[in-house]
């Protein structure tokens, strides 16, 4: 028989798993654009091409007057995640995620401007049906029970439409800004056993409230229709490869600057505001309860349809600064430091479910269940370093690395979102095929990181990521 502690730990991660997009530095990628990616993610003080729209908009001012560039890109992320706890083990089937980009930039006199689309994130975890980590749990009355056996997965995607502007206020100093239109979407299929639901009711790791919670409490009285609750299941997913079921829209902004002290040294910095995104919402959600009592038909759960909202789901503010050194005509050495304010953006994960007026919902019509789960992420520092060598007039070779802290506390570490990777080792190249066409590629290796959460569950995570960009000068 599976031990009680093993089952409890497995269900705990089910509770805290689907919190956000699963990337490389928390929710963020280690670099945007193949050039920055190959240089360890550094991007503050040199020309990163059209990817400046996501990095430091002021670097667009480094374009030549009259230059126009059309850019296309694709980014691939390939995580390898395994989890073990006593006799339980599993591996995520979510091993490949792809993110496109499209951009147009031009410079007229002292002004550079344009537009760019970027798929900012597109990862998750997939544990499928009958996962050993989610096969059983404990009811509210501490009885070993089976869970739904249905698919367990989470996926979050984010994208930006950006409108950057840069102004060369002097020959050596440039300022930049960007207004971003942002969308974020989510799929979630998650079981939560009754024991952990009861724990949250008592304030352990979160909270539960709302009229549906009150109604359930009224049924769980001597002689009531509910004698025990085995599990709850949250389910909203469209299984689309492009966008999730629950969607929210909002805005963000960036400002940046660069200053060239000499032909040898340029410095730069940027600030990305915290996003302002509406609730991620869908009217095609299902909340199911399984348990014992006259309210249930045998082992069949009671399913309620309705609208679910994921509230206050935001991208964090980022403060960054960097330098670019040019020892001679062929070499460039770059470095950045970034400070990411996760502690403000990722304190909790909040969902609100409202039952619709479907006749099948019976007495639950219009009732609300609010669930809030603690996250308490820590702020993160990321250090990037890279070097570029122009081997020929057409070929540039690049290498770099980035080093960061882990923002996720052990108390909330779980197999659905093991954002524990720290270091990235990168390389790549840029090649000018013709006077108007350039291709750039990057590859990053993310060494395996292992950690054990507060329940004794061991989680390991490594990645191989790549990016490819094509730029055409008009």
Instruction: Give 249-286 pLDDT, tens digit per residue.
Output: 999 999 999 999 999 999 999 999 999 999 999 999 99
Structure tokens at 183: 């969308």
The span from the CA of 237 to the CA of 349, in Å, is 18
What is the bridge-based pairing of β-strands 318-325 and 276-277? Answer: unpaired
pLDDT value of residue 269: 98
CATH of segment(s) 4-473: 2.40.160.60
Residue 339 has pLDDT above 60, yes or no: yes
pLDDT value of residue 21: 42
Instruction: Provide, rounded to the nearest whole percent, the portion of the chain with pLDDT above 70.
Output: 94
Q: What is the pTM of this model?
A: 0.88
Contact in structure between 113 and 63 (CB atoms under 8 Å): no
Residue 58 has pLDDT above 60, yes or no: yes
Residue 309 has pLDDT above 50, yes or no: yes
DSSP string, 34-98: HHHHHTTT--SSS--GGGGGTS-GGGGGGSPTT-EEEEEEEEEEEEEEEEEETTEEEE-S---EE
pLDDT value of residue 135: 84
pLDDT value of residue 221: 79
374-413 pLDDT per residue, tens: 888 889 999 999 999 999 999 999 999 999 988 888 887 7
Question: For residues 265, 323, 42 and 61, what is the CA-based torsion angle, rounded to 10 degrees?
Answer: -70
Q: What is the mean pLDDT of the chain?
A: 89
The span from the CA of 15 to the CA of 12, in Å, is 5
The strand pairing partners of 282, in sequence order, are 308
Q: What is the mean pLDDT of residues 417-435?
A: 91
DSSP 199: H
Q: Is 362 exposed, middle or buried (0-12, 13-18, 19+ CB in 10 A)?
A: exposed
Residue 3 has pLDDT above 70, yes or no: no
More confident residue, 196 or 7: 196
The span from the CA of 453 to the CA of 410, in Å, is 5
Closest CA to 189 of 146, 228, 231: 231
Q: What is the mean pLDDT of residues 173-196?
A: 93
Q: What are phi and psi of 441, to 5 degrees?
A: -140, 155
Contact in structure between 307 and 285 (CB atoms under 8 Å): yes
Closest CA to 366 of 212, 209, 208: 212
Q: What is the mean pLDDT of residues 84-96?
A: 84
10-26 pLDDT per residue, tens: 333 333 333 334 467 77
């Amino acid at each position: 028989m599976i031990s009680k502690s093993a089952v409890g730990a497995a269900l705990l991660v089910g509770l805290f798993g689907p919190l956000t997009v699963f990337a490389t530095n928390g929710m963020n990628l280690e670099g945007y654009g193949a050039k920055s990616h190959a240089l360890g993610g550094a991007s503050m003080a040199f020309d990163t091409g059209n990817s400046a729209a996501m990095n430091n908009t002021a670097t667009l001012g480094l374009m030549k007057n009259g230059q126009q560039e059309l850019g296309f890109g694709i980014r691939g992320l390939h995580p390898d995640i395994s989890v073990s706890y006593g006799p339980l083990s599993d591996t995520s089937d979510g091993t490949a995620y792809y993110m496109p980009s499209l951009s147009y930039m031009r410079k007229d006199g002292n002004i550079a401007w344009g537009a760019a689309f970027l798929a900012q994130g597109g990862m998750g975890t997939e544990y499928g049906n009958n996962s050993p980590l989610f096969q059983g749990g404990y009811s509210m009355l501490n009885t070993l029970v089976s869970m739904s056996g249905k698919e367990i997965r989470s996926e979050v995607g984010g994208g930006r439409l950006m409108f950057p502007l840069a102004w060369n206020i002097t020959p050596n100093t440039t300022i930049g800004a960007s207004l971003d239109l942002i969308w974020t979407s989510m799929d979630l299929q998650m079981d939560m056993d009754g024991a952990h639901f009861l724990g949250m009711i008592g304030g352990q790791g979160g909270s539960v409230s709302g009229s549906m919670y009150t109604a359930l409490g009224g049924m769980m009285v001597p002689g009531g229709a509910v004698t025990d609750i085995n599990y709850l299941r949250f389910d909203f997913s469209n299984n689309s490869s492009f966008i999730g079921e629950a969607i929210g829209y909002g805005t963000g902004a960036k400002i940046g600057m660069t200053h060239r002290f000499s032909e040898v040294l340029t410095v730069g910095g940027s600030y990305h505001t915290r996003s302002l995104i509406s609730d991620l919402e869908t009217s095609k959600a299902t909340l199911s309860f399984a348990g014992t009592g006259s309210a249930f038909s045998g082992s069949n759960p009671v399913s309620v349809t309705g609208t679910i909202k994921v509230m206050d789901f935001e991208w964090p503010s980022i403060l960054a600064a960097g330098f670019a050194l040019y020892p001679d005509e062929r070499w460039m050495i770059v470095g950045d430091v970034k400070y990411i304010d996760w502690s403000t953006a990722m304190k909790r994960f909040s969902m609100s479910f409202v039952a619709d007026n479907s006749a099948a919902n019976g007495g639950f019509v219009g009732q609300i269940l609010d669930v809030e789960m603690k996250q308490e992420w820590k702020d993160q520092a990321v250090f990037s370093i890279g070097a570029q060598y122009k081997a020929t007039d057409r070929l540039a070779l690049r290498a770099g690395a980035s080093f960061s802290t882990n923002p996720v506390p052990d108390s909330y570490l779980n197999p659905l979102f093991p954002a524990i990777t720290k270091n990235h080792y990168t390389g790549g190249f840029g090649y000018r095929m013709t006077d108007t066409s350039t291709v750039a590629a990057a590859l990053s290796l993310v060494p395996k990181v292992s950690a054990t959460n507060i329940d004794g569950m061991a989680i390991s995570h490594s990645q191989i990521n790549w990016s490819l960009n094509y730029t055409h000068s008009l």
